[in-house]
């Protein structure tokens, strides 16, 4: 789960990493304990908000009031701004970059530091990024710091302060089950303090149960995706008009790919997982109906899951609630013949192969 | 021969008395797996399909000589269960459990390495060497003994592919589900090395998906070290960046992990790629 900037900074503060003086503001009454000039920052779970006009400097109360009204409710890449962080300005001497993430290949935390802070790290040349992989059993050690921070052109005191921030950030990364913590920029202020001007923190969803202080806002999900998450269904909304229901993430992805092959576009990715529970199947279809696809493509492979049990669940939903779009089905595996009979009986179209089913779905959706 | 599991695998199931444990102990036994023990704290003395249950793994190992563990415990107890198995001397650990915190997986993956143990998963369907042993939740009915090695990041998609191999008369030496998480123990490279050494395996099928760079790394490894023919399918060619596609590990992040990059890497390594999952069997048939 991606945290809003201000929530990330609350965690930084908890670990003793300095952040600018600031607070969330809703209206002019909230400005009273802030020193002008300050900055208003839209809280959205996507990058590029500066370019979209979501970050503005303000000089006085009138200016702040006007600009706050512009930012609140603004749309940034599909997200409506509901929260604005006001932060006092800090004089900047140097801008650095610091992050720790999980490296999938080495299976360890990867630390990255650069003297080129404030810009997109992907645009910084590789020889300007200093990396260290930290074995989780030894944790962060002085040699990691020598291998990274010492390569930056910092004076002795600055280096010491940045090293302290790094140790604190690593502690937070491990204790809060982070997938990513990024400070960009981490600045050295004109009076020598090391301050995190921004925060990007992603916490592993599967570990949220042990962090009751982190409120699951799921800000990056659509309303239907949120509903699905609460029901424990893997459901993703996409740009197209074909709703895909399959069992298993890999098979669902492969089904999406098959549609693209025939110039169709999936609008929903719904992975039933290993379930054949009629209640779950019913919930899945209800969610799918709410997404209003032009066609539903049901692709099942039965292994341990029996196709006919799933088919019974599907038939029950359709008989009970009706369905106002065509449903193409492709069924393979355990008890497939019985399943096909049940689905035909429910008035659904059954196709012999994945290719046939994908082609048919695309035709009916107006793609191919 | 086969890789990682065979007739010598003596299995202890951790989480034996739960719904999954009871069901899959039965399934594994009918496949021919030597399930010698179950473990559930506080349930010593019970039996599941005539398999004795113990309170802890070291008791089970002492009494039965178990050398392989299947982990079916809930996510929040998984790390402890893996550590317990490794400390009891288990050398092959198969972790089925889904939704294990990544930091937990990171720790037990490193601890397994430190103990020279093979760790498969987490978030995987397990491993099967047809005619010998099946350790996990894969459906027994799709397999056939033979010479194709399969390694996959996926579950149902793997069953689909294995089933289509069987329909063409192509049996499997071993089919290993590596898991859909970003941090996993056994990787494509580990499986490729094992298949390369395995006399029974004549061809290898890799089932990859978006997220991470495991496919790209294995492609480089294939060029350098693998002489047997390799076939592949990559799922998620049309997945948008930044979305987790069902598996925790299936996400294009910071421009990395696209299907295009994986397909490109495999082409360079002369790996034959299938457009549809069921085409893999045709490709293997044509080239063998």
Cα–Cα distance for residue pair B88/A71, rounded to 1 Å: 59
For A173, nearest residue in chain B (alpha carbons):
B103
Return the closest-CA partner of residue A57 out of A74, A70, A73, A44: A70
- CA of A248, closest CA in chain B: separation in Å? 5
Closest CA to B186 of B157, B159, B218, B162: B218
Cβ pair A135:B110 closer than 8 A? yes
CATH T-level topology, domain A21-88: Dna Ligase; domain 1 (3.30.1490)
CA of A26 to nearest chain B CA: how many angstroms apart?
A: 30
- Candidates A303, A353, A359, A367: best to mutate against B (most CBs of B within 10 A) is A303
Q: How far apart are CA A298 and CA B230, in angstroms?
A: 31
Task: Extract the tokens encoding A322.
Answer: 């009706």
- Whether the link from the prior residue into A119 is cis, omega within 30° of 0, is no
Torsion of CA A205, A207, A210, A215, to 10 degrees: -10
Question: Residue ranges of the alpha helices (H) in chain B?
Answer: 19-31, 57-64, 75-87, 102-114, 156-167, 188-197, 214-225, 259-268, 279-286
Q: Mean pLDDT, to the nearest integer, of B15-37?
A: 96
Of A210, A161, A354, A172, the closest CA to residue B157 belongs to A354
What domains sit in chain B, N to C, each tagged with a CATH number? Answer: 10-120 (3.40.50.720), 139-286 (3.40.50.261)
Contacts of A266 in chain B (CB under 8 A): 238
CB B121 within 8 A of CB B178: yes
Record the tokens describing residue A293, joined without a space.
Answer: 């696809």
User: Exposure of A278 by Cβ count < 10 A (0-12 exposed, 13-18 middle, 19+ buried)?
Assistant: middle
Contacts of A260 in chain B (CB under 8 A): 237-238
Measured between alpha carbons, how far is A174 from B100 in angstroms, rounded to an integer? Answer: 15
Chain B residues in contact with A252 (beta carbon < 8 A): 245-246
When computed from its CA atoms, the radius of gyration of chain B, rounded to whole angstroms, is 18
Q: For residue B17, what is the DSSP state?
A: S
Strand pairing report for B68-71 and B10-14: parallel
First to last CA, chain B: 20
Q: B64: which residues sit within 8 A by CB, 6+ positions away?
A: B10, B12, B36, B37, B52
How distant is the Cα of A34 from the closest Cα of chain B, in angstroms?
Answer: 36
A126 touches chain B (CB under 8 A): no
What's the rounded Cα separation, in Å, for the pair A23 and A34?
A: 9
- How confident is the model over B47-59, as pLDDT tens digits? 999 999 999 999 9
Nearest Cβ partner for B159 among A260, A303, A353: A303
Q: Please say if the pLDDT value at position B233 is more than 90.
A: yes
The predicted structure's pLDDT at residue B200? 96
Q: Count CB atoms within 10 A of the CB of residue A75.
A: 11
- Chosen for mutation from A46, A100, A104 (greatest number of chain B CBs closer than 10 Å) is A104
Asked whether the beta carbons of residue A105 and residue B141 sit closer than 8 angstroms, the reply is: no
CB A219 within 8 A of CB A45: yes
**Segments in chain A below pLDDT 70:** 367-368
Residue in B98, B246, B252, B254 to test binding to A, most A beta-carbons within 10 Å: B246
- Contact (CB<8Å) A248/B245: no
> What is the CA A109 to chain-centroid distance, rounded?
19
Q: Which two tokens stand for residue A253?
A: 């992805």
For A264, name the nearest residue in chain B, comparing CA atoms only: B238
In this structure, how many other beta carbons lie within 10 angstroms of the beta carbon of residue B199? 8
Q: Are strands A75-76 and A79-80 parallel, antiparallel or unpaired?
A: antiparallel
Q: How far apart are CA A130 and CA A144, in angstroms?
A: 10
Indicate the residue of A122, A209, A248 with minimum beta-carbon distance to B255: A122
Look over chain B and give the mean of its residue pLDDT values, rounded to a whole number.
Answer: 96
State the catalytic residues of A: 97, 182
Domain boundaries, chain A: 21-88, 92-210, 223-365
Residue at token pair 């006009």: A53
The CA-CA-CA angle for residues A344, B141, B245, to 5°, reads: 70
Torsion of CA A340, A343, A344, A349, to 10 degrees: -90
Phi, psi angle pair for B197, to nearest 5°: -80, -25
**H helix or E strand, kind and range, residue A317:** helix A307-321
Amino acid A368: pLDDT: 43
Query: A with B: how many residue pairs have Cβ under 8 Å apart?
Result: 158
d(CA A195, CA A186): 6
**Segment B225-240 mean pLDDT:** 96
Which helix (H) or strand (E) segment is B176 a member of? strand B172-177
A335 token code pair: 């008890």
B156, closest residue in chain A (CA to CA): A248
Kind of pairing, strands B126-129 and B133-136? antiparallel
Closest Cα of chain B to A158: distance in Å?
Answer: 30
Which has the minimum average pLDDT: A184-198, B121-135, B250-264?
B250-264
Return the structure tokens found at B86. 């490794």
Interchain contact A356–B (C-beta under 8 A): no
Say what the pLDDT of residue A367 is. Answer: 53
Identify the pLDDT of residue A45: 86
Are the beta carbons of B209 and A253 separated by less than 8 Å?
A: yes
Tokens 């066609």, residue?
Answer: A295
Per-residue pLDDT, A78: 83
State the complex-level ipTM: 0.94
| A223-365: CATH class | alpha beta
pTM of structure: 0.95
Q: Rounded to an integer, what distance in angstroms lies between the CA atom of residue A85 and that of residue B86? A: 48
- What number of CA atoms fall less than 13 Å from residue A193's CA on the CB side? 12
CB atoms B154 and A105 under 8 Å: no
Structure tokens at A100: 């720790």
Q: Which residues of chain B does A234 touch, with a Cβ-Cβ cutoff of 8 Å?
A: 246
**pLDDT higher than threshold 60 for residue B104:** yes
Confirm or reject contact between A271 and chain B (CB < 8 A): yes
Closest chain A residue by Cα to residue B239: A253
Provide the residue count of chain A: 368
pLDDT at A323: 87
Distance from CA of A283 to the nearest CA of B (A): 17
Question: CA A53, CA A71: separation in Å to the nearest integer?
Answer: 8
Cβ–Cβ gap A257/B238 under 8 Å: yes
Which CATH code fits A92-210? 3.30.470.20
How many angstroms separate the CA of residue A238 from the nearest CA in chain B?
A: 8
């Amino acid at each position: 789960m991606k945290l809003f900037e201000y929530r990330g900074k609350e965690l930084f503060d908890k670990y003793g990493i300095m952040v600018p003086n600031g607070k969330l503001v809703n209206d002019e009454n909230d400005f009273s304990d802030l020193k002008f000039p300050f900055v208003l920052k839209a809280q959205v779970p996507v990058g590029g908000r500066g370019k979209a006009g979501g970050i503005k400097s303000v000089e006085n109360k009138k200016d702040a009031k006007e600009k706050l009204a512009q930012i609140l409710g603004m749309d940034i890449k599909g997200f409506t701004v509901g929260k604005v962080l006001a932060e006092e300005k800090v004089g900047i001497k140097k801008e650095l970059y610091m992050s720790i993430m999980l490296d999938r290949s080495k299976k360890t935390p990867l630390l990255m530091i650069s003297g080129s802070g404030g810009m997109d790290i992907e645009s910084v040349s590789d020889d300007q990024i200093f990396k260290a992989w930290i074995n989780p059993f030894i944790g962060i050690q002085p040699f990691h710091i020598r291998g990274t921070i010492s390569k930056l052109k910092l004076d002795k005191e600055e280096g010491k302060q940045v090293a302290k921030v790094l140790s604190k950030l690593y502690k937070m990364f491990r204790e809060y089950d982070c997938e990513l913590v990024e400070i960009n920029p981490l600045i050295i202020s004109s009076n020598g303090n090391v301050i995190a001007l921004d925060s990007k923190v992603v916490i592993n969803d599967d570990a949220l149960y042990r962090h009751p202080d982190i409120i699951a806002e799921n800000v990056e999900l659509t309303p239907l995706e949120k509903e699905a998450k609460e029901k424990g269904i893997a459901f993703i909304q996409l740009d197209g008009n074909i709703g895909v229901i399959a069992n298993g993430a890999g098979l669902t992805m492969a089904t999406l790919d098959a549609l693209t092959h025939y110039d169709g576009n999936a609008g929903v990715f719904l992975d039933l997982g290993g379930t054949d529970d009629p209640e779950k199947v019913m919930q899945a279809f209800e969610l799918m109906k709410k997404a209003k696809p032009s066609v539903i493509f049901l692709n099942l492979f039965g292994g341990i899951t029996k196709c006919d049990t799933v088919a019974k669940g599907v038939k029950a939903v359709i008989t009970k609630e009706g369905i106002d779009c065509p449903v193409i089905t492709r069924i393979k595996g355990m008890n497939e013949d019985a399943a096909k009979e049940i689905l035909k009986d429910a008035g659904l179209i059954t196709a012999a192969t994945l290719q046939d089913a994908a082609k048919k779905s695309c035709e009916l959706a107006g793609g191919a | 021969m086969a890789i990682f599991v065979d007739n010598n695998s003596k299995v202890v199931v951790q989480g034996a008395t739960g719904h999954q444990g009871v069901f899959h102990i039965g399934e594994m036994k009918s496949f021919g797996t030597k399930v010698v023990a179950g473990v559930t704290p506080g349930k010593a003395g019970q039996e599941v399909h005539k398999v004795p249950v113990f309170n802890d793994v070291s008791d089970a190992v002492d009494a039965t000589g178990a050398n392989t563990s299947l982990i079916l415990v809930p996510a929040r107890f998984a790390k402890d269960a893996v550590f317990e198995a490794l400390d009891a001397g288990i050398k092959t650990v198969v972790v089925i459990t889904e939704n294990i915190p990544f930091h937990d997986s990171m720790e037990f993956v490193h601890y397994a390495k430190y103990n020279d143990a093979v760790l498969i998963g987490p978030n995987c369907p397990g491993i099967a060497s047809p005619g010998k042993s099946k350790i996990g939740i894969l459906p027994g009915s799709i397999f056939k003994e033979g010479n194709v090695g399969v390694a996959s990041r996926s579950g149902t998609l793997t069953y689909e592919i294995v089933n289509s191999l069987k329909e063409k008369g192509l049996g499997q030496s071993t089919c290993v589900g590596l898991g859909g998480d970003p941090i996993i123990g056994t990787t494509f490279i580990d499986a490729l090395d094992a298949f390369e050494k395995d006399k029974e395996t004549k061809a290898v099928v890799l089932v990859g998906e978006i997220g991470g760079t495991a496919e790209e790394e294995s492609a480089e490894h294939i060029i350098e070290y693998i002489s047997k023919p390799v076939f592949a399918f990559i799922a998620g060619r049309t997945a948008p960046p930044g979305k987790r596609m069902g598996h925790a590990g299936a996400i294009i992040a910071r421009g990395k992990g696209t299907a295009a990059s994986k397909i490109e890497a495999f082409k360079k390594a002369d790996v034959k790629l299938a457009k549809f999952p069921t085409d893999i069997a045709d490709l293997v048939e044509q080239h063998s």
